[in-house]
């Protein structure tokens, strides 16, 4: 598997007019090239199998997953419906709860949610904890609405919440003193944006009820996540407390390579080289030549995919309808 270090060495001389492989501009150009190529197709290494166990009939995708392509529930196949499914003529209508359909399927709820799960029907204070002591004192800006549907701290753009550390650095361990110092001033009914600094550790955002002392996890952010956004899906035909085991084929989302040891999403260095040359031509006013390099890069990725996944006799048929009678259609 090629890493960012491999990409630097292979592509540096084709970035701008030639750069040193250690120049951070090389990394930025490789990331830009990757982002463009990721949108051109489901190439080798950009589609993965994911298996999760979830309850409460909402499935948040990890930060590196763009969309679900196919899904199975336990041992049976299922559908992945678009956001328009609830609005079809003769369709199911708006699904406020999970158990609104005779079969278990996934319905796309859209992308860009800053947390894995919503807070719920009651406005709550929120707090953030890191696994590393070096993150203590850093702040997360949380934007959203209160229980009256009014924007919180509108003039300043949300509330700054100070990151605290778990008691003794042990994740999940807290004291009353730590909680009191970590709680937000405002109660959030809905969170619309989370702006986080780069951190050394993972940062977990919780909602909290001071009366019952209950905590609800909202999101867990990786060190380099700074403006998180996730896709959510709703599971039909299931109860709130019922666990579902899901196996899915997912298309990965573009995420930038940061460390030299990071694995590149595009595992074809010659196509990345051509895409770097394409960006150079676009930046210097020759889009026609840039498109030629880009087309060649896409062609190489298509060829790589065909070689990795040769033709087979697999047929994808909706089991509810089958092939039917095709006589008279020839």
**Every domain of the chain and the residues it spans:** 4-39+254-308, 47-114+231-252, 125-228
Distances (CA, A) of 104 to 72, 85, 236, 304: 9, 14, 5, 35
Q: Quick check: 295 pLDDT over 80? A: yes
Q: Distance (Å, rounded) from C-alpha 36 to C-alpha 177?
A: 48
Cite the beta strand spans of 151-307 per DSSP E. Answer: 159-165, 190-195, 203-208, 215-221, 230-235, 244-252
| Alpha carbon 221 to chain centroid, angstroms | 11
pLDDT per residue over 138-178, tens digit each?
Answer: 999 999 999 999 999 878 889 999 999 999 888 889 999 99
Residue with tokens 């990394």: 27
Q: Which residues pair with 77 in a beta bridge?
A: 72
**What pLDDT is stored for residue 168 in this prediction?**
87
Beta strands 244-252 and 65-73 are antiparallel
- Lookup: tokens for 117: 């799960």
Q: What is the mean pLDDT of the chain?
A: 90
Instruction: Report the pLDDT averaged over residues 71-79.
Output: 87
Q: Tell me the C-alpha distance between 135 and 164, whole Å.
A: 8
Confirm if 144 and 154 have CB atoms less than 8 A apart: no
Sign of CA dihedral 307, 305, 277, 1: negative
**Tokens at 178, concatenated:** 């730590």
For residue 96, what pLDDT band results from cuts at 50, 70 and 90?
A: low
| In the block, residue with structure tokens 């390579």 | 257
- Give the Cα-Cα-Cα angle 130, 132, 134 (nearest 5 degrees): 110
Cα separation, 216 vs 222, whole angstroms: 18
Average pLDDT over residues 281-302: 95
Above pLDDT 90, what percent of the chain?
74
User: What are the distances in angstroms from CA 60 to CA 98, 117, 218, 330?
Assistant: 14, 7, 11, 45
Residue 20 has pLDDT above 90, yes or no: yes
What's the pLDDT at 293? Answer: 97
8 Å CB contact between 208 and 161: no
Least confident among 93-97, 152-156, 220-224: 93-97
Residues 97-147 pLDDT 10s: 555 566 788 999 999 999 999 998 999 999 999 989 999 999 999 999 999
Could you give the 3-state DSSP secondary structure of residue 50?
strand
If we measure between CA atoms, which residue out of 300, 256, 253, 255 comes closest to residue 274?
Answer: 300
Instruction: Give mean pLDDT, residues 81-87.
Output: 87
């Amino acid at each position: 598997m090629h890493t960012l270090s491999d990409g630097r060495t292979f592509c540096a001389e084709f970035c701008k007019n030639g750069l040193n492989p250690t120049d951070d501009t090389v990394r930025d150009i490789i990331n830009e090239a990757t982002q463009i190529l990721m949108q051109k197709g489901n190439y080798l290494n950009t589609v993965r199998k994911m298996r999760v166990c979830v309850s409460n009939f909402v499935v948040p995708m990890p930060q590196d997953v763009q969309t679900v392509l196919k899904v199975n529930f336990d041992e049976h196949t299922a559908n992945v419906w678009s956001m328009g499914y609830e609005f079809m003529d003769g369709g199911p209508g708006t699904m406020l709860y999970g158990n609104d359909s005779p079969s278990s399927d996934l319905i796309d709820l859209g992308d860009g949610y800053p947390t894995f799960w919503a807070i719920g029907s009651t406005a709550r204070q929120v707090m953030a904890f890191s696994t590393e002591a070096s993150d203590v004192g850093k702040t997360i800006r949380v934007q959203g609405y209160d229980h009256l549907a009014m924007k919180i701290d509108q003039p300043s753009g949300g509330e700054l919440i100070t990151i605290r550390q778990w008691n003794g650095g042990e994740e999940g361990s807290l004291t009353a003193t730590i909680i009191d110092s970590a709680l937000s001033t405002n109660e959030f009914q809905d969170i619309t944006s989370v702006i986080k600094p780069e951190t050394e550790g993972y940062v977990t955002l919780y909602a909290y009820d001071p009366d019952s002392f209950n905590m609800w996890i909202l999101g867990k952010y990786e060190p380099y996540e700074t403006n998180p956004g996730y896709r959510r899906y709703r599971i039909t035909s299931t109860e709130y407390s019922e666990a579902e085991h899901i196996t899915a084929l997912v298309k990965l989302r573009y995420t930038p390579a940061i460390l030299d040891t990071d694995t590149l999403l595009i595992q074809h260095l010659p196509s990345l080289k051509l895409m770097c040359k394409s960006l150079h031509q676009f930046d210097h006013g020759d889009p026609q030549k840039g498109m030629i390099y880009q087309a060649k890069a896409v062609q190489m990725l298509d060829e790589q995919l065909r070689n990795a996944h040769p033709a087979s006799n697999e047929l994808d048929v909706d089991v509810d309808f089958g092939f039917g009678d095709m006589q008279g259609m020839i």
